[in-house]
Structure 1
Amino acid sequence: MNPNRGDVTTTDDTTALDAAARSVERLRLSESRLARRRQTDCGPSENARAAMRFVLERTDAGEDVTPTLIAEYLGVSTASVTGMLDRLHSGSMIAFAPNPADRRSKLVVPFDRGADPDDIDPLTAQIRKMVRQLSDSEAKKVSQFLAQVADAVDQECT
């Protein structure tokens, strides 16, 4: 058993519950380390990746995307989004188009319409592959549990 890898051997329900709580904490720490690595070592930041997924999904749904919508979606200032979009534009990941509904605004469009959101964040593709190994009932329980964890995280310090 390697406790750093999340391998768990349990003998009773309390131990299993403790192991689940430790696993969630380990996930949160791993996500935090990943976010720091992505800021310095590994391409676009987590916010930039989330913005790209948002642009691709909304554009594919036939919706217009503006920098303001991206800022609202990410919960950050429009100033931070402007810098991030400039970097994504420099990296040929997005383009800008005039907004026909508002001449003062611009639309954000994917530079490569054939881009797959999983290519922007390969970790998402890997997680989807792991999820396919779960039964429907297991997936439902995991989904419900992680939704509760996400809600708890979102409520922290509000």
Structure 2
Amino acid sequence: MTTPWVPQTPHQQAVLGVLLSIRALNDAMDRMNGGMKDDMDMNATDLAALRMLIVREQRGESVSPHEVAKHLRISTASTTKLLDRLESSGYVERHPHPRDRRARILTLTAHSRATFFKHFAEHLEQMRRVTEPYTEDELKLIGRYLTDVSQAIDPS
């Protein structure tokens, strides 16, 4: 696209409104994450790794260092340095994989969970309060839309 898109119809104006709302949400999330990484004394990549581990833990899934590298799109050498930092700061632990002695899995420490949720709990409660008034059907539609947008931006 070489020229800016200019909405021509009421529907296109509504599309633009939603896209502007997504940008505002992204900016708010960036500010929230910026505050968290500063409070937790880590960089954005470290925080992204912790978020991935938390989400995967909530799903009951284990995470290998290779999966962290793939998720963050960083080299294995960079992943090793990242995990060394997170481990020395008391945020993650490396353990032998239960079925593959050659592999490792990562787990969050109690300190990591407590620190992360201490910073995120207030934001989560505010988001929950905003979300509560919507009907189940509306929430399913919003969820589907956000998933579709996420996959359009990052299909991996």
TM-score (norm 1): 0.63
Structure-2 separation of matches of 1:90 and 1:111: 11
Structure-1 separation of matches of 2:60 and 2:99: 15
Equivalent pairs counted in the alignment come to 144
CA contact (8 A) 1:53 1:117 kept: no
- Counterparts of 1:51-70 in structure 2 under 5 Å? 51-56=49-54, 58=56, 64-70=62-68
* Aligned residue number for residue 41 of structure 1: 38
In the alignment, residue 110 of structure 2 is paired with which amino acid?
Answer: D
Relative to structure 1, the CA distance from residue 100 to residue 87 in structure 2 (aligned partners, 3 Å threshold; closer, same or farther) is same
CA contact (8 A) 1:39 1:45 kept: no
* Aligned residue number for residue 135 of structure 2: 135
Relative to structure 1, the CA distance from residue 78 to residue 25 in structure 2 (aligned partners, 3 Å threshold; closer, same or farther) is same
* Aligned residue number for residue 24 of structure 2: 26
Pick from 74, 85, 89 the counterpart of residue 72 of structure 2.
74
Structure having the larger proportion of residues in helix: 2
Report the aligned-residue RMSD: 3.8
Relative to structure 1, the CA distance from residue 140 to residue 40 in structure 2 (aligned partners, 3 Å threshold; closer, same or farther) is closer
CA contact (8 A) 1:52 1:120 kept: no
Relative to structure 1, the CA distance from residue 113 to residue 102 in structure 2 (aligned partners, 3 Å threshold; closer, same or farther) is farther
Gaps of 5+ in 2: 1-9
TM-superposed CA distance for 1:154, in Å, is 1.7
Relative to structure 1, the CA distance from residue 59 to residue 29 in structure 2 (aligned partners, 3 Å threshold; closer, same or farther) is closer
CA contact (8 A) 1:97 1:109 kept: yes
Gaps of 5+ in 1: 1-11
- Counterparts of 1:138-153 in structure 2 under 5 Å? 138-153=138-153
